[in-house]
Amino acid sequence: MRGFLLLAARILISAALLYFALRGINFTAIQSRLSQISVGWVLLSVIATIFQIFLGALRWREISVNCAAPLGTGQAFRYNMIGTFFNQTLPSSIGGDAMRLWLVKHTGAGWRAAAYSVLVDRAVGLIALAIIVVASLPWSYQLISNDHGRIALLLIDLGAISAGLGFLLLGRLPWSWLKTFWLTHHIYACSVIANQVIFNRRSGPKIAVLSLLIHVMAVVIAWCAVRSIAAAAGFEQLFMLIPPIMLITMLPISIAGWGVREATMMVAFGYAGLAQTDGTVVSLLFGASSFIVGAMGGLVWILSSEKTSQSDHVPDSLTQI
């Protein structure tokens, strides 16, 4: 019952945020934009989304080795595709991460190793995104002249980079009590692994390059959406706007980021002097690309050997999707 109420609450939040994003929009303008859609660019955005997932699989493979849950490239890519499907049904990326954890566990790794591989992968992605946002801040300030927009961007930057650096610092602290309590013990262990992965001479550069490319691909997907409706936003403008939007979309308060992404994209486009209608349409197309790829991931899940052979052990909330 509690799970149902939480899901219902997040659906309502998504609906409310979508309403907020769309209430001031000229639907005639949206219809005009949608009537100009170039299918070719939409197809490219879908391909870019799949490639982004593949890059994520390469990074996860590198991290999983340090978590005693090694994955092959094809295996990690398949699990990421399945995770993308479950991302479309539960808040933010929580559903996909939970499914990835379950899949890794059933490769023979324990729950702890599986959980660490997923959590560290997620943490590394967040840290990389925060660094990108902070590094681009001077140019973002040139793009966004609105004082409220600048303050909001600064607060997002400070929050993200503080959380990321604090997480990494935790793994370098000598305090023994961190290993005593259940929660701090696991967070500390994940921080230690993240430090090993990031600052290792062999894996560190790979992780850095892959993380950068993953977030660049998010900009490419948005740019394909922009090109599909012939909007005025340029790639360099999107590079300043999309990373902060992705940070906010990670908040687990809506279903697959719907509503949060649209509201944030609309506001961000307005602060940058771009048409808010275009921001809303670009966000909808961005979400549509994820939905299409998620549907492909659903097909991968249906045909997967894990579902066929282990269906009796899959949590009911997952098998019923």
Two tokens, residue 243 = 């990373």
- Check residue 19 and give its pLDDT: 56
- Check residue 319 and give its pLDDT: 41
The mean-pLDDT minimum among 140-149, 214-223, 299-308, 312-321 falls in 312-321
DSSP symbols for 247-267? HHHTSTTSBTTTTHHHHHHHH
pLDDT for residue 163 is more than 70:
yes
Residue identified by tokens 């197809």 is: 43
* Helices 111-135 and 203-228, packing angle to 10 deg: 60
With cut-offs at 50, 70 and 90, classify the pLDDT of residue 18.
low
Residue identified by tokens 């982004």 is: 52
Q: What is the pLDDT of residues 269-303, one digit of tens each?
A: 888 888 888 888 898 899 899 999 999 999 999 88
Q: What is the pLDDT of residues 192-241, one digit of tens each?
A: 999 999 999 888 999 999 999 999 999 999 999 999 988 888 899 999 99
Q: What is the C-alpha to C-alpha distance for residues 93 and 97, in angstroms, rounded to an integer? A: 6
The mean-pLDDT minimum among 29-38, 150-159, 243-252, 277-286 falls in 29-38
Of the candidates 285, 306, 159, which has an alpha carbon nearest to the alpha carbon of residue 231? 285
How many CA atoms are closer than 13 Å to the CA of 191, on its beta-carbon side?
20
| Domain residue spans of the chain | 29-84+91-309
- 24-53 burial, b for 16+ CB within 10 Å, e for fewer? ebeeeebeebeeeeeeebbebbbebbbebb
Q: What is the C-alpha to C-alpha distance for residues 288 and 311, in angstroms, rounded to an integer? A: 29
CB 119 within 8 A of CB 98: no
Q: Write the DSSP symbol of residue 171.
A: T
- Check residue 318 and give its pLDDT: 43
Go through the chain and tell me how many residues it has.
321
CA distances 174 to 36, 171, 190, 199, 248, Å, are 59, 8, 15, 18, 33
Greatest distance between any 2 Cα atoms in the chain: 62
**Of 21-35, 104-118, 207-221, 263-277, highest mean pLDDT:** 207-221
Residues 45, 50, 55, 59: is their CA dihedral positive or negative? positive
Give the pLDDT mean for 31-45: 82
Q: What is the C-alpha to C-alpha distance for residues 229 and 278, in angstroms, rounded to an integer? A: 8
With cut-offs at 50, 70 and 90, classify the pLDDT of residue 316.
very low
- Check residue 104 and give its pLDDT: 92
pLDDT for residue 314 is more than 70:
no
**Of 31-40, 192-201, 244-253, highest mean pLDDT:** 192-201
Contacts of 185 (CB under 8 A, 6+ apart): 178, 179
pTM (predicted TM-score):
0.84
